[in-house]
């Protein structure tokens, strides 16, 4: 989900707010004036975005029929360079990332022409190949010229064209997953708007041969965003959110958690699919060794517990009942995984002294507080980071940054072997001066991969 506050009209520099608590009526009044001005600026580009809505390509691939299976595929045997001892594994004392390798823009099939913003992605192993799906558009924010492109490779050098989807609306959150030896792609549609975020519902399609897919069909609730899909022991698990009808209409938003054995029919994991309600949106989870669950969710617009994120637990015998504790940090685009007994999270990091999203402006009305926090967050640098999650203490600790800056963090992760993971992400250019998230969203972004190596397998 993109930041809701656009750049100022005519390229004007956005005001930078102090993060100290204001003292006195005059200081508070000045801060409110700045906030109102920022909110007014946010409406300037709406008409320009709507004028772009008629330029999108409506080409969708036809259906066909063929299937392939995974069998005994071993990634390191097919991609030996990824598993070379580049980092000196015997000397590692903490997780480390290899140097990034850019793939988008890059040497892609001629059918694929990336635009300026390449900022959402999904990855999967299938038929002894690596599949990558990504969003490309003229801007980070919802645009009608967005498309979902799919490529595959068996050596990370030569990429094959696998699909192009464009529906004259914004398309994002492309998610690849495999169930019963079948590859699926889910993505979500959003109303094209520079100043709003209104979901139009998810679509699902099945891979049936090189460059060919079934016609995308509506799936789940019409206004839902599917955020993560992962397959565990042959069962697909889906995290999403529904009920969002505008930037600040979060009261009716529910986080959904569902499962499927065929990739098409989804049922609640617990007693009900809705596990949280309020300001929560993006979420992900992992199962622990005792069958219980730990999850994290983005709580951007806030509720009675505050703003930022929530770390949640559920017992094995009642997985639909989540118990959560708040965090002042906001781990955007969360992706969780287990390495042995240790739980990790990859998510966006706010590069400030505290890293907090909740800036303790409790005296502001709720609407203004939400807008103020988002605007302040939008005007700070960002990283995509690896964190360690303690399910017992219910806390999150920073480990390391991925190669990233500016507009960054929509990770995809695949396991290579006992100690290595292939991590995909998007980022603003890695050279030059550092950028705020706002600056990064108004510039080019690229997709790359890096190998994450762990010091040991904590079994």
Instruction: Over range 86-100, report the average pLDDT.
Output: 79
Cβ atoms of 146 and 190 within 8 Å: the answer is: no
| Residue 10: C-alpha distances to residues 3, 13, 14 (Å) | 19, 9, 11
Q: Tokens 């993006």 appear where?
A: 282
Beta strand spans in 37-155 (E): 96-97, 101-104, 117-126, 129-137, 147-153
Q: Does residue 314 register a pLDDT over 50?
A: yes
Q: How far is CA 162 from CA 103, 118, 138, 207, in A?
A: 15, 17, 22, 9
pLDDT of residue 162: 98
* Residue in 50, 100, 27, 184 with CA at minimum distance from that of residue 384: 100
Q: Are 273 and 243 in contact (CB under 8 A)?
A: no
Over range 309-314, report the average pLDDT: 98
Rounded CA-CA distance 218/203 in Å is 5
Q: What is the predicted pLDDT for the residue at 247?
A: 52
Question: Hey, is 150 helix, strand or coil?
Answer: strand
pLDDT digits (tens, 9 = 90+) for 322-345: 999 999 999 999 999 999 999 999
Going by C-alpha positions, the residue among 332, 1, 404 that lies closest to residue 197 is 1
pTM over 0.75: yes
Residue 116 confidence class, pLDDT cut points 50, 70, 90:
very high
Joined tokens for residue 131: 């599949």
Q: Which two tokens stand for residue 195?
A: 């100043």
Q: In which order are the strands placed within the sheet that holds 129-137?
A: 117-126, 129-137, 147-153, 159-165
Q: What pLDDT shows up at residue 195?
A: 74
Burial class (CB in 10 A: 0-12, 13-18, 19+), 165: buried
CB atoms within 10 A of CB 113: 12
Residue 67 has pLDDT above 50, yes or no: no
Tokens of 448: 């790359």
Strand partners, 188: 172, 202
First-residue to last-residue Cα distance in the chain: 35
Mean pLDDT confidence for 379-397: 98
* Number of residues written out for the chain: 459
What's the CA gap between 123 and 312, in Å, rounded?
26
Higher pLDDT, 35 or 86: 86
The string of pLDDT tens digits covering residues 94-112 is 999 999 999 999 999 999 9
pLDDT band at 456 (very low <50, low <70, confident <90, very high): confident
Q: For each of the domains in the chain, give its residue range(s) and CATH number, in order of start.
A: 9-453 (2.120.10.10)
Give the residue with greater pLDDT, 17 vs 305. 305
Instruction: Please compute the mean of the pLDDT values over residues 35-46 and round it to a whole number.
Output: 41
pLDDT at residue number 246: 55
In DSSP terms, 182 is beta-bridged to 179
Backbone angles phi, psi at 444, to 5 degrees: -75, 150
Which of the residue ranges 72-81, 241-250, 260-269, 402-411 would you say has the lowest mean pLDDT? 241-250
Rounded Cα distance, 258 and 219, in Å: 13
Question: At 113, phi and psi to the nearest 5?
Answer: -125, 100
Nearest 5°: the CA angle 430, 434, 440 is 75
Coil/strand/helix, residue 258: strand
Q: What is the average per-residue pLDDT within 111-123?
A: 97
Distant-in-sequence, close-in-space partners of 27: CB < 8 Å, separation ≥ 6: none
Q: What is the per-residue pLDDT for 250?
A: 58
Least Cα distance to 241 among 307, 301, 168, 192 occurs for 301
- Mean pLDDT over each residue of the chain, to the nearest integer: 84
- Indicate the pLDDT class of residue 194, thresholds 50, 70 and 90: confident
Averaged pLDDT, 199-211? 96
Q: Per-residue DSSP letters for 404-430?
A: --SS----EEEE-SSSEEEEEEEES-S
Helix, coil or strand: residue 438: helix
């Amino acid at each position: 989900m993109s930041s809701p506050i656009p750049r100022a009209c005519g390229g004007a520099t956005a005001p930078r707010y102090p993060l100290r608590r204001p003292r006195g009526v005059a200081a508070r009044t000045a801060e409110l004036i700045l906030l109102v001005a920022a909110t007014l600026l946010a409406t300037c580009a709406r008409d320009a975005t709507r004028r772009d809505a008629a330029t999108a390509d409506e080409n969708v691939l036809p259906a066909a029929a063929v299937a392939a299976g995974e069998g005994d595929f071993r990634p390191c045997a097919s991609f030996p360079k990824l598993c070379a001892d580049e980092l000196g594994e015997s000397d590692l004392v903490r997780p480390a990332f290899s140097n990034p390798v850019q793939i988008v823009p890059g040497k892609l099939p001629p059918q694929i022409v990336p635009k300026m913003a390449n900022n959402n992605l999904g990855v999967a192993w299938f038929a002894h190949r690596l599949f990558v799906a990504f969003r490309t558009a003229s801007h980070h924010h919802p645009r009608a010229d967005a498309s979902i492109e799919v490529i595959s490779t068996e050596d990370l050098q030569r990429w094959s064209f696998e699909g192009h989807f464009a529906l004259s609306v914004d398309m994002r959150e492309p998610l690849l997953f495999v169930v019963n030896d079948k590859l699926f792609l889910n993505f979500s549609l959003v109303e094209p708007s520079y100043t709003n975020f209104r979901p139009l519902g998810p679509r699902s399609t099945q891979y049936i041969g090189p460059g060919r897919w079934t016609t995308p069909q509506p799936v789940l609730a019409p206004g839902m965003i599917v955020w993560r899909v992962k397959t565990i022991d042959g069962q697909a698990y889906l995290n999403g959110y529904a009920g969002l009808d505008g930037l600040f209409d979060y009261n009716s938003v529910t986080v959904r958690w569902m499962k499927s054995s065929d990739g098409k029919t989804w049922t609640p994991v617990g007693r009900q699919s809705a596990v949280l309600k309020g300001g929560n949106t993006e979420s992900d989870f992992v199962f622990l060794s005792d069958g219980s669950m730990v999850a994290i969710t983005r709580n951007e617009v806030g509720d009675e517990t505050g703003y930022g994120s929530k770390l949640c637990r559920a017992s094995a015998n009642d997985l639909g009942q989540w118990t959560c504790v708040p965090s002042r940090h906001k781990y955007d685009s969360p992706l969780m995984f287990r390495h042995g007994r240790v739980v990790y999270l990859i998510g966006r990091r706010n590069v400030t002294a505290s890293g907090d999203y909740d800036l303790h402006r409790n005296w502001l009305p709720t609407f203004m507080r939400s807008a103020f926090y988002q605007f302040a967050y939008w005007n700070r640098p960002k990283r995509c980071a690896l964190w360690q999650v303690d399910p017992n203490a219910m806390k999150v600790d920073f480990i390391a940054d991925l190669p990233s800056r500016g507009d960054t963090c929509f990770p995809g992760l695949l396991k290579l072997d006992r100690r290595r993971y292939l991590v995909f992400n998007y980022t603003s250019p890695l050279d030059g001066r550092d950028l705020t998230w706002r600056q990064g969203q108004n510039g080019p972004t690229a997709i790359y991969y890096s190998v994450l190596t762990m010091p040991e397998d904590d079994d």
